[in-house]
């Protein structure tokens, strides 16, 4: 578990990728994230299928990752290199909806793989 403090969605850039066979899912999630104030890149398809919605981020970007993760129900959170300031959300078969993120400045515990 990592303790992180959420930040303003306006300070977070998100890449939404769809790993399910459901067409248009990434676009729907991207639109919902934008409505909550996130900066969202053009959504795309992920090259493989993930069973669970996963948030990927690079070291040092924990606050942004925690903020994005707080908008999803129980996502997997994985630290990877090479993402820079972008947080990638890969929608898995468990994806249902985007929730409002936890308010900025909130302490959250994130389980990082």
For 50-90, what is each residue's pLDDT tens digit? 999 999 999 999 999 999 999 999 899 999 999 999 999 99
- Cβ contact 10:39 at 8 Å: yes
Residue-level pLDDT at 4:
87
CA distance 15 to 17: 6
Question: What phi and psi values does residue 4 have, to the nearest 5 degrees?
Answer: -135, 160
Interval 84-109: pLDDT, tens:
999 999 999 999 999 999 999 999 88
Expressed as residue numbers, the domain containing 12 is 2-110
pLDDT at 41: 98
Total number of domains constituting the chain: 1
pTM score of the predicted model: 0.94
CATH number of the CATH domain containing 83: 3.30.70.2390
């Amino acid at each position: 578990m990592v303790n992180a403090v959420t930040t303003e969605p306006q300070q977070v850039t998100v890449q939404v990728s769809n790993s399910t066979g459901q067409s248009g899912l990434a676009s729907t999630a991207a639109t919902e994230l934008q409505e909550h104030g996130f900066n969202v890149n053009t959504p795309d398809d992920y090259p493989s299928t993930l069973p669970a919605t996963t948030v990927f981020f690079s070291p040092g970007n924990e606050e942004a990752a925690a903020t994005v993760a707080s908008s999803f129900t129980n996502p997997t959170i994985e630290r990877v290199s090479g993402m820079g300031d972008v947080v990638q959300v890969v929608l898995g078969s468990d994806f249902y909806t985007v929730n409002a993120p936890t308010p900025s400045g909130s302490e959250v515990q994130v389980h990082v793989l």
